[in-house]
Amino acid sequence: MTKRPSFIFFMTDQHRADWLGCYGHPVVRTPHIDSLAAGGTRFENFHVASQVCMPNRGSFMTGRYPSQHGLRYNGCVLPERANTFVDVLAAGGYHTAAIGKSHLQPFMEPRPGVHEPDPGPSDEAWKRDESDYLQEQPGRYLSDGRYEFRTPYYGYRHVDMVTLHGDRCGGHYQQWFRSRASDWRSLQDDRNQLPHNYSCPQAYRTPVPEELYPTAYIRDRAVDYLESRKGSDAPFFLFVSFPDPHHPFNPPGRYWDMYTPDAFEVALPYEAHVNPPPPMRYLHERWQSRGRQATPQEAMMLDTDHLREAMALTAGMVSMVDDAVGAVMDGLRASGHFDNTVVCFNADHGDYLGDFNMLFKGAMPFRAVTRVPFIWSDPARNTVARSDALGSTVDLSATILERAGLSPYFGMQGRSLLPCLDGEGRRRELLMEYNDAGIRLGFEAPARVRTLLTDRHRFTLYRDQAWGELYDLQEDPNETNNRWDDPAYAAVKAELSLRLNHHLTGLMDESPRGQHPA
C-alpha cells in the first residue's frame, strides 16, 4: 500500500494573488513561496467562495457555500454540527493541527455600549444553539499560563489559536507574548510607537520586535509541531494560518522599511473605470468630501501617496510571511516528512489595494478581492507548472481528501482539482456569494450579492438593485467597463443570468441523504 501523504496548508489573510513574485509582482520578493510554485502547480484563475474572512474560511473547511454551511457573514459562527474535511482526515487516521488564525467563530467582544439581548424562544428562525462558540473570544485568554482549548475544534486535535490582526493579536499568542515580554504593556501602548513619516490610515510602527510578532509565533509553533512528528508514521494535516498582510499596516523591525513607497504605483486609478457602479461612486464621493469609515474594516478610497505607503508596508508583511514559510519548510525537511508532504499556499480573500483608488474589501467582487493565490506542491506527483482552470475555495476540501485517499461526506459542493494538476477537468464556471452583516457603501440594507464567473465574463447581481455588473474579461481584464446596460451584451447578459439562476436553483443542502421508498 502506498503511504498516505501528509499536508501543510499555508493560508494568509487579505492577500490578493498578484502580490507574490511567482504571480508576477514586479517589486515584492517572495523566494520561498516562489519555490513552492516552482516545484508544483500555480493556479492562475483561483477564486474565493466569498470575499470576506469568515464565510470563505467556512467554505474552506466544509467544501460548501456560505448559504449552506451557515457561516454566512463576518460575525456569524460555523455551527459545531457542521462536518469538515478535517473531521474526515482525523477519522481516517490523520493527526490534525491548526496554528494561527482560524476565525470560524467571532474573536471580538461586542463594542462598548452595545448589548445584544439573548434571543427569546420565538425571536429567530433557529432555536438557540447551546454550543460553546466563545473559544476564540478574548475573555478566554485573560489569565496567565495557557488556556486549555477544547478539542476537537472542527476536526483539529491540536490548536494554537491566534486572533485579530497586526501586532496585538489575541488567543494563545497573547498569553505567550505576555509571558515572554516583561514590558508587554509598554510594547502594546499606542504612545510608544516608533518614529516614522507615514501618514496613511492604520500605519503604525510597532515597537514589538520581530521575534515577538505574531508571524514569528506562528512560524515557531509550526516548526515545533513538525519537530514533534519526527519518527511518527502517522500522516498529519497542519494548517498554518497567518493574520498578515491584513491591515493595520505594521510590519516589525527590518520589514518596516524593506520597501519604499516610491517603488509602487497605482496602475488602476478611479478615473480608469468608464462607468463606476454606485458603491464605487459612493466611496469616491465620501473620499472627496473627507468622510470617514464607519468601521476600520470598511472599504475606502485614498490618494496615490497614501496608497503607495499602504503598498510598501503590505509588501513588508508579505515578505515576513515568506521568510516564515521558508523556516517552516526547513522544519519539514528536518522532520523527515518532506518527501511525502503536500504543501499548499492560499489566502482567504484579497484587497483592492489601490485598484480604482480603493483599499481593503467590500461588496464589489473585483478580481483584486476574489482572485487569490493557490499553489499545490506535491513531491509524489508530476503536475503541470501552471493551470488556468477555474478553481474555488469550495474545491479545496475535496481535493485534499482525494489526495489522502478518503471519501468526501455527502453534501460537499466542491469538486476535486486533482484532474487540473494533469491539465484536465476544467470547470465551466463558478459561483461566489457575499452577504454583508451591516449597512454600508450606500446600500439601504445589508448587501446580498451573487456572482457567476466564467473564463470570459464576470456577472454580478445585487439584490433589489436595478443595476448590476457585467464585465468582458477577455476584452477588459481589469474590469473597467461595466456592460450591464450595453445593448451589444444583452444576449450575454440574458445567458449569464439564466446560468446564475440555475446555480441558485440547485443551491440546496442535499444532506442528509433522502431515503427513497422501496
Question: Which residue, among 61, 223, 276, has the nearest Cα to 152 in the 3D structure?
Answer: 61
Q: Residues of the chain with pLDDT > 70: what percent? A: 96
Q: Count of residues for the chain? A: 518
Predicted confidence (pLDDT) per residue in 323-358, tens digit: 999 999 999 999 999 999 999 999 999 999 999 999
- Structural domain boundaries, residue 198: 6-107+132-426
What distance in Å separates the CA atoms of residue 11 and residue 245, rounded to the nearest whole number? 11
> Is 441 within the bounds of a domain?
no
> Is 288 within the bounds of a domain?
yes
pLDDT at 135 over 90: yes
> Is 475 within the bounds of a domain?
no
> Is 449 within the bounds of a domain?
no
User: Grid coordinates representing 44?
Assistant: 492562475
Q: How far is CA 92 from the centre of its chain?
A: 27
Predicted confidence (pLDDT) per residue in 407-423, tens digit: 999 999 999 999 999 88
Instruction: Give the contacts of 354 (CB within 8 A, at least 6 positions apart).
Output: 264, 266, 267, 268, 307, 308, 310, 311
What is the end-to-end Cα distance of the chain in Å, rounded? 39
How many folded domains does the chain comprise? 1
> Is 1 within the bounds of a domain?
no
Q: Answer yes or no: are the C-beta atoms of 61 and 78 closer than 8 Å.
A: yes
pLDDT at 263 over 50: yes
What distance in Å separates the CA atoms of residue 60 and residue 84, rounded to the nearest whole number? 9
User: Grid coordinates representing 315?
Assistant: 509588501
107 φ, ψ (degrees, to nearest 5): -115, 20
* pLDDT reported for residue 120: 63
What distance in Å separates the CA atoms of residue 396 and residue 416, rounded to the nearest whole number? 7
**What number of other Cβ atoms are within 10 A of residue 220's Cβ?**
18
Provide the strand spans (E) within 299-456. Answer: 300-301, 341-347, 358-359, 374-377, 386-387, 391-392, 429-435, 448-454
Predicted confidence (pLDDT) per residue in 44-93, tens digit: 999 999 999 999 999 999 999 999 999 999 999 999 999 999 999 999 99
* pLDDT reported for residue 129: 84
Question: Which residue, among 209, 220, 201, has the nearest Cα to 252 in the 3D structure?
Answer: 209
Q: 33-47, 122-136, 149-163, 421-435 — which is least confidently predicted?
A: 122-136
> Is 321 within the bounds of a domain?
yes
> Is 278 within the bounds of a domain?
yes
* pLDDT reported for residue 2: 61
> Is 490 within the bounds of a domain?
no
Question: Which residue, among 373, 371, 358, has the nearest Cα to 322 in the 3D structure?
Answer: 373
User: Grid coordinates representing 125?
Assistant: 428562525
pLDDT at 22 over 80: yes
400 φ, ψ (degrees, to nearest 5): -65, -45
* pLDDT reported for residue 114: 43
* pLDDT reported for residue 518: 55
Question: Which residue, among 200, 323, 305, has the nearest Cα to 253 in the 3D structure?
Answer: 323
User: What are the helix (H) ranges across 336-464?
Assistant: 367-370, 396-404, 418-421
Give the residue with greater pLDDT, 362 vs 380.
Answer: 362
CB pairs under 8 A, 24+ apart, for 290-299? 294/438, 294/440, 295/438, 296/202, 296/247, 296/248, 297/74, 297/360, 297/361, 298/360, 298/362, 298/440, 298/441, 299/352, 299/358, 299/359, 299/360, 299/361, 299/362, 299/364, 299/441
What distance in Å separates the CA atoms of residue 35 and residue 160, rounded to the nearest whole number? 27
- What is the domain-level CATH number for residue 389? 3.40.720.10
